[in-house]
Amino acid sequence: MISHRDSNAQRISALDERAEALHLKPGMGIADARAMHPSIDIVEADPEADRRLLEGLADWCDRYTPLVALDGTDGLFLDITGCTHLFGGERAMLDDILSRFFHQGFDVRAGLASTPGAAWAAAHFCGDRIVVSGGEDVLLAPLPLAALRIDPATRASLESVGLRTAGAVMAAPRAPLARRFGGSLLLRLDQALGRLDEAVSPRLPVAPLSVERHLAEPVVLTEDIERLVQMLATTLKSDLERRGEGARSLALLLFRVDGAVSRIALGTSRPLREPLLIQKLFHERLAALEQHIDAGYGFDLVRLSVLSAVAFDMPQADLAGEVSDDGADIADFADRIRARLGEGAVLKPVTVESHLPERAVATIPFTEAPRRTTPPKKPDRMQAPMTIFPPERPIRLFRSPEPIEVPATEMPEGPPLNFRWRRASYRVMRAEGPERIAAEWWREASGDAAASTRDYFRIEDADGRRYWLYRQGLYGSSEIPPRWFLHGVFA
């Protein structure tokens, strides 16, 4: 029995058959239930866990159709349009779903109809029923109003005027109903009867391409999965070739016998369709995830989906039939590294137009640069406005500037004479600067402009190490005293 807290009282929110047999009801206070039956077992409700379970089931239902939507807290919509023939017809599919859920230990009611509304009503009030197209009104007519998925207030007021079944509502004239009970009642009715389309919004985007393999005997070994991946990728290759595309992101779905689904996604830095390369990438990914994937009793369905695909241009081969392309090698290398160690494992720097040093270079995950068709411009793009003496920049920059202690400076605005950094003291032998870099006022909302102005100094210590220091803030212009930071290291 599961309890939940509702308006400051513990009430029963759900119970099993044995508790029902004791004449307990949902909504009953826990204290009353305890008084009736002191031996009952009560568990606190955990909506989060329920949600996770439902999503896990939705993942598993992906094996029937890619269009799976959640319905409230306890239901799933499966759009099986065009999928039934794969499972031997509607009846066979419904039986398959029900039996598999039964073996997983779930008590499931299912309905199958040509509209979501009718299917919902069939599942909730008839159980395991297939409604033929056009037979929705026959199904709905004897059912109570709750089968129309209307809110309780509307339902209560309909019942108060004597309309107790869906059939009665259908028979009533439409105009007074709309006037009195609002548009939502008729909307629900029309949706259930198929007069209006109702879209089921799927949880996951539908993959443009996917291939799968049902296995009579579940696989457990990683090597077997990899072999299956290569087999699926070979099938996928012809599809991709027909479309003239290559995969940029792929997902491998492993459906475990007992209902758990492992989803392994990876991205590539260039369009890919070679089965061997796809297999290699999944080999790395599976090796990295070895601890996280529990094969349990084995996987009985393996699916490989292309999540996104882009145009694939075939490289021109030379006369010997060899394609020499260093970019491909690097892209493959980067993909392999990222498959194992995550997206951020191979980074490339991108220059950004900004004078703030930490913002002037962004590092982004490696993707292959668009193929250069024109020769690179000779004038250097790094220095957009040509400066005669480009400012010196360090070769290493700390992620966040490290605070240093500066006891004294020769002049208030000048470089320090010595400083302490990481508990070691340094004597400044020579200094160049300052280079003043102001904050970007067009980005930062507000604040003291003077307090965020930085004066950078390039200094050399007694041993010849060259550092980049800055003083944040100006003397005398604000109440916050200037602070010193070490930002980078020079060659």
Partner 1 sequence: MAMTAVARETVFALRRQIAKIEGTLPERLQAPASAAPRAVADADRTVVRRGIAVAAPDAFLGTGVERLDAALSGGLPKAALSEIHGAETRDAGAVAAFALSLASLILKPGPSFEQSTHGQGILDQGASKQGSAFKQELPVLWIGTQEIFREAGFPYARGLHASFGIAPEQLLFSEAAKLTDALWIAEEAAKMTALAAVILEVRGNPRGLDLTATRRLHARAQGAGRPVFLLRQAAAPEPTAAPVRLIVSPAPAVARETIAGPLAGSIGRPAFTVTIGKSRTALPGQFTLEWNPDERRFDERRGEERRRRQWAENPVPVVSLSGGRKDPAAAAGAVLAFPSAGAPAAGDQPSRQQRAAHLGPRRAG
Within 13 Å of residue 256, how many CA atoms lie on the same side as its CB?
Answer: 17
Q: What is the nearest approach in angstroms of partner 1 to the Cβ of residue 366?
A: 6
Helical H segments across 275-403, by residue range: 275-288, 326-341, 357-360
Directed axis angle between helix 183-193 and helix 152-160, to 10°? Answer: 100
Residue from 394, 413, 420, 450 in contact with partner 1 (CB under 8 A): 394
Q: Total residues contacting partner 1 (rule CB under 8 A)? A: 57
Phi and psi at 163, nearest 5°, equal -90, 100
Phi and psi at 300, nearest 5°, equal -110, 0
| CA pair distance 440, 438, nearest whole angstrom | 6
Q: What is the nearest approach in angstroms of partner 1 to the Cβ of residue 349?
A: 4
Question: CB 165: neighbour CB atoms within 10 A?
Answer: 18
Tokens representing residue 381 in the block: 């793009």
Interface with partner 1, residue 420, by CB under 8 A: no
Give, as ranges, the residues between 6 and 65 that touch partner 1 (CB under 8 A).
Answer: none
Sole residue written with tokens 């009715």: 189
Which has the closest alpha carbon to 428: 456, 465, 393?
465
Q: Which is nearer to partner 1, 429 or 480 (CB)?
A: 429
Stretch that binds partner 1, among 166-174, 197-205, 252-260, 453-461 (CB under 8 A): 453-461
Cis amide leading into 202 (omega within 30): no
Residue from 424, 442, 445, 479 in contact with partner 1 (CB under 8 A): 424
Give, as ranges, the residues between 123 and 142 that touch partner 1 (CB under 8 A).
Answer: none
Q: What is the nearest approach in angstroms of partner 1 to the Cβ of residue 490?
A: 6
Dihedral (CA of 289, 293, 295, 296) sign:
positive
Residue from 390, 412, 447, 476 in contact with partner 1 (CB under 8 A): 390
Stretch that binds partner 1, among 26-34, 53-61, 246-254, 421-429 (CB under 8 A): 421-429
- Is residue 12 within 8 Å of 26, Cβ to Cβ? yes
Residue from 79, 274, 392, 435 in contact with partner 1 (CB under 8 A): 392
- Is residue 30 within 8 Å of 49, Cβ to Cβ? no
Question: CB 28: neighbour CB atoms within 10 A?
Answer: 16
Interface with partner 1, residue 99, by CB under 8 A: no
Stretch that binds partner 1, among 13-21, 81-89, 232-240, 417-425 (CB under 8 A): 417-425
Give, as ranges, the residues between 300 and 359 that touch partner 1 (CB under 8 A).
Answer: 324, 326-327, 329-330, 333-334, 336-337, 340-341, 344-351, 357
Interface with partner 1, residue 429, by CB under 8 A: yes
Dihedral (CA of 193, 199, 204, 206) sign:
positive
| CA pair distance 202, 199, nearest whole angstrom | 9
Interface with partner 1, residue 488, by CB under 8 A: yes
Q: Which is nearer to partner 1, 202 or 357 (CB)?
A: 357
Q: What is the nearest approach in angstroms of partner 1 to the Cβ of residue 373?
A: 15
Residue from 379, 385, 464, 481 in contact with partner 1 (CB under 8 A): 464
| CA pair distance 366, 342, nearest whole angstrom | 11
Q: Which is nearer to partner 1, 391 or 447 (CB)?
A: 391
> Which residues lie near partner 1 (CB under 8 A)?
324, 326-327, 329-330, 333-334, 336-337, 340-341, 344-351, 357, 360-361, 363, 366, 369, 382, 390, 392-399, 417, 422, 424, 427-432, 458-460, 462-467, 488-491
